[in-house]
Amino acid sequence: MKDKFISTLLETKEFKNSLYAILKHSFLYHSNKIEGSKFTTEELALLLDKDVVTGRHTLDDVQETVNSSYVFDTIIETLGEKINDSFLKKLHSSLMFNTTMHVRGYAGIYKTIPNMIIGTKAKVAQPFEVQSKLDELLEWYYNLDNITLENISEFHYRFELIHPFQDGNGRIGRFLMLKQMLENNLPMKIISWDTEDLYRSSLNICSEGNYKPLENYIDGLEDFRVEYKFLWEF
């Protein structure tokens, strides 16, 4: 039986000020702001609702914000479909379309140059390790019997430690977390930009086999389902 939250989400996709619109705005505002977007919540609402850009923004900020809107739609449209290489590359290609990364040829492909997670000392995978580590992660995830918040925390940490793309890994990782929470009828937690330092520090103190810091951080966030239950519990 389909979860009522998911059913309402799908049914309200074309309506303004609906469950779909509010989740989309909230998720994109926080996830993009963590990565340096300068869009205010009001400016983002104008862009999403009326295709109007206000304020002063770089071209990449505008393009990536527009692109992230399409990636959000893709996540919802593909609920129930497995994450694989082609899915990951499609998300990244969409997110980076017409940006500097796209022009440089880095959109929709795994990284070719070593990178890192800004704000942490974590040692991420080298380019030649990406494919095997992603294969291992996805095999582990899809062999789980009952996916929990603990499992999703582990997946997110391990994905970020692989850091498979040249840029955009944080946003892709959070999009995957959104997909996983929705697919498994779990509390809907949105990583908020105003707790960015705590988010990064929890990633920083996790280690292989110890994902509790990130799980505790995510568990402590507000549950979007509860906060907006009046939009779907009727």
Which residues are documented as binding site? 167-174
The per-residue pLDDT for 234 is: 85
The per-residue pLDDT for 119 is: 67
The yes-or-no answer on residue 163 being catalytic is yes
The per-residue pLDDT for 55 is: 95
The per-residue pLDDT for 193 is: 95
pLDDT digits (tens, 9 = 90+) for 126-137: 999 999 999 999
DSSP β-bridge partners for residue 223: 189
For the chain, the domains span: 4-231
DSSP 146-213: S--HHHHHHHHHHHHHH--SSS-HHHHHHHHHHHHHHHTT---B---GGGHHHHHHHHHH-BTTB-HH
pLDDT digits (tens, 9 = 90+) for 57-109: 999 999 999 999 999 999 999 999 999 999 999 999 999 999 999 999 999 99
The per-residue pLDDT for 2 is: 67
Indicate whether 54 pLDDT > 50: yes
Catalytic residue, candidates 25, 30, 156, 163? 163
Is domain 4-231 in CATH 1.25.40.80, yes or no? no
Please state the pTM of the whole predicted model. Answer: 0.96
pLDDT digits (tens, 9 = 90+) for 197-213: 999 999 999 988 999 99
pLDDT digits (tens, 9 = 90+) for 139-198: 999 999 999 999 999 999 999 999 999 999 999 999 999 999 999 999 999 999 999 999
- At 170, the amino acid letter reads G
Which residues are documented as binding site for ATP? 167-174
Euclidean distance between CA atoms 24 and 13, whole angstroms? 10
Measured in whole angstroms, the distance separating CA 76 from the mean position of its chain's CA atoms is 12
The per-residue pLDDT for 214 is: 96
Mean of pLDDT values over 14-29: 97
